[in-house]
Amino acid sequence: MEKTQETEADNGEVKVETKALNDGSLCGYDSLHSLLKANLKPELFQEVNRVLLGLNCGRAIDNIALPESECAKAVSSEHDFDLKAFCFHADKELLRAPRIVRVGLIQNSIALPTTASFLDQKRAIYQKLKPIIEAAGASGVNILCLQEAWMMPFAFCTREKRWCEFAEPVDGESTQFLQDFALKYNMVIISPILERDINHGETIWNTAVIIGNHGNIIGKHRKNHIPRVGDFNESTYYIEGNTGHPVFETVYGKIAVNICYGRHHPLNWLAFGLNGAEIVFNPSATVGELSEPMWPIEARNAAIANSYFVGSINRVGTETFPNPFTSGDGKPQHADFGHFYGSSHFSAPDASCTPSLSRNRDGLLITDMDLNLCRQLKDKWGFRMTARFTAAFGLN
Ligand SMILES: NC(=O)NCCC(=O)O
């Protein structure tokens, strides 16, 4: 990572210096959005923003001030996490009331080095997340989604089986930890974990647990597509999920979860849409070198093509493991994946999207969305109506 700085010498000559940065920032800026904002004239930034982020109901995405989250702001300063809040509107309908839900995404780095005891690592992640979840709850978030395998380091690069110890049943410790918040704040929580299915041969899965707003377990979804790319050696630990493409009916709307690498599979997104999802969450763990140019495109395309909202979440930071490993590409062994670049954001069915959370800090993104927008876009573009699924898949 590099930052260029212009300095003017005594003779008036402008010298451009390039300084290497190793903090996960983009040349010293915490996101592409802030880099552009700081470096473009306001009228240019407005045009760039219009094209990059799109327009929602004819105007730039609104920031929202959350009066109830004054305390969230204080908590975010105290615990040093990024806090951003936006709003997607829909057109006013004459026969249907708006269906506005407040949705939150949390991204975070691990709390202790991977050399700490497993128990300490787990407890420290809970301690780290507690104030962020509380801030979401206090801000009136209705549906909250955490990042992929949030309750452990993303150790699947190592291929070492000892990390399996972190796996828990769907009703295990991390679910119990979150159930209290769900109940306290009347909040649906999506909790992506490493699952151990105690009742079926103690098998391991990459699973999202859907916790209802009464603290009940609504269901689970197991990751459909398991990566075998670069250091993502996840198939050493679990295989392709067996839960299909479930859509969960919650009190706030119909939601689904497309876990990480599933975002590269358009048919995966399609199936959640065909099953009626209004918001699809994509809890992820991915690194800059591998996927950053794909990140803002795939989710946004899914939202457009399937007329639903997408919430994309990525981990933050660099996780270094005790023993080096190789990627099977002839390159030298190393002990980390590279930088998880955060950049969590929402995409809407009208092709607009929010600015991202920071590339290098923990964060909470809160966004209000009127779910009426999904049907309005179906009516406008007619993708569902004009699709020719039977012809495309050779079905009768
Ligand atoms: N966790 C995971 O599936 N990562 C794969 C890498 C990617 O899809 O960008």
The complex scores an ipTM of: 0.99
Cβ 364 under 6 angstroms from ligand 1: no
The phi-psi region of residue 294 (left if phi > 0; otherwise alpha if psi is between -120 and 50; otherwise beta) is: alpha
What are the structure tokens assigned to 138, written together? 């206090």
Question: pTM of the entire structure?
Answer: 0.94
pLDDT digits (tens, 9 = 90+) for 78-117: 999 999 999 999 999 999 999 999 999 999 999 999 999 9
User: Are 359 and 30 within 8 A, CB to CB?
Assistant: yes
Average the pLDDT over 321-328 and give the result: 92
Cβ 314 under 6 angstroms from ligand 1: no
303, 301, 163, 168: which is closest to 234 by C-alpha? 163
pLDDT value for 389: 85
Longest dimension (CA), the chain: 78
Cβ 268 under 6 angstroms from ligand 1: no
Instruction: Provide the pLDDT confidence category of residue 6 given band limits of 50, 70 and 90.
Output: low
What is the distance in A from the centroid of ligand 1 to the CA of 122? 22
What are the structure tokens assigned to 45, written together? 């930034």
* Ligand 1 atom with minimal separation from the 264 CA: 8
What is the distance in A from the centroid of ligand 1 to the CA of 210? 21
Q: Taking the domains of the chain in order of start, what are their residue ranges?
A: 59-384
* Mean pLDDT over each residue of the chain, to the nearest integer: 93
Task: Give 373: exposed, middle or buried? Use CB within 10 Å, 0-12, 13-18, 19+.
Answer: buried
pLDDT digits (tens, 9 = 90+) for 257-267: 999 999 999 99
Annotated catalytic residues are 148, 223, 260
Average the pLDDT over 172-192 and give the result: 98
Question: Thinking of the domain 59-384, which architecture would CATH place it in?
Answer: 4-Layer Sandwich (3.60)
Q: Which residues contact 128 (CB under 8 A, 6 or more apart)?
A: 79, 108, 111, 362
